[in-house]
């Protein structure tokens, strides 16, 4: 694990919001879903737009441009048109005298290869 980077107070990341944050040389979307705090590469793998401007739905975030949903825990796309995962990062909350702080490991978590997309013609089904 790389040295954790303090990106601010937990209060800077209200539940239900996603915020674009620079973490070292990475640009990360810090997403505070009801299910927890997540950190994901802030770049849709389909085109170069910010996922932090998308809509949070449970443990997913939906790209605002064409609607691919990404799993916040794995970075895997769950719907087309994106077929390539994005990086995820480990996020931690730690207590300090000044209040709870959000820390991010700037090293992305390795992810599995994307699941192959099978395209069938009508005659295959
Ligand atoms: S740019 Fe994100 S799904 Fe197309």
How confident is the model at residue 56, as a pLDDT? 98
Q: Which atom of ligand 1 is nearest to the CA of 45?
A: 2
From ligand 1's centre to the CA of 102, what distance in Å?
Answer: 28
User: Residue for token digits 């997913």?
Assistant: 60
How confident is the model at residue 96, as a pLDDT? 82
- Ligand 1 pocket, residues with Cβ under 6 angstroms: 44, 46-47, 49, 63, 65-66, 68, 81-82
**What is the edge-to-edge ordering of all strands in the sheet holding 60-62?**
55-57, 60-62, 69-71
How would you write the pLDDT of the chain (125 residues) with one tens digit per residue? 789 999 999 999 999 999 999 998 999 999 999 999 999 999 999 999 999 999 999 999 999 999 999 999 999 999 999 999 999 999 999 988 888 999 999 999 876 554 444 444 455 44
From ligand 1's centre to the CA of 49, what distance in Å?
Answer: 7
Domains of the chain, earliest start first:
5-124 (2.102.10.10)
Name which of 112, 114, 104 is nearest 28 in CA terms.
104
User: Residue for token digits 């390539």?
Assistant: 84
Name which of 51, 59, 53, 120 is nearest 86 in CA terms.
51
How confident is the model at residue 39, as a pLDDT? 96
């Amino acid at each position: 694990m790389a040295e954790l980077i303090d990106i601010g107070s937990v209060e800077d990341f209200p539940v239900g919001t996603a915020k674009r944050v620079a973490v070292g040389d990475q640009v990360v979307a810090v997403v505070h879903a009801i299910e927890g705090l997540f950190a994901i590469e802030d770049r849709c793998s389909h085109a170069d737009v910010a996922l932090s401007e998308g809509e949070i739905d449970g443990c997913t975030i939906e790209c605002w441009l064409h609607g691919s949903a990404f799993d916040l825990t794995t970075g895997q796309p769950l719907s087309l048109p994106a077929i390539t995962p994005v990086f995820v990062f480990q996020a931690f909350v730690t207590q300090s005298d000044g209040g709870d702080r959000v820390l991010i490991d700037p090293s992305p978590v390795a992810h599995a290869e994307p699941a192959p997309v099978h395209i069938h013609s009508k005659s295959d089904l």
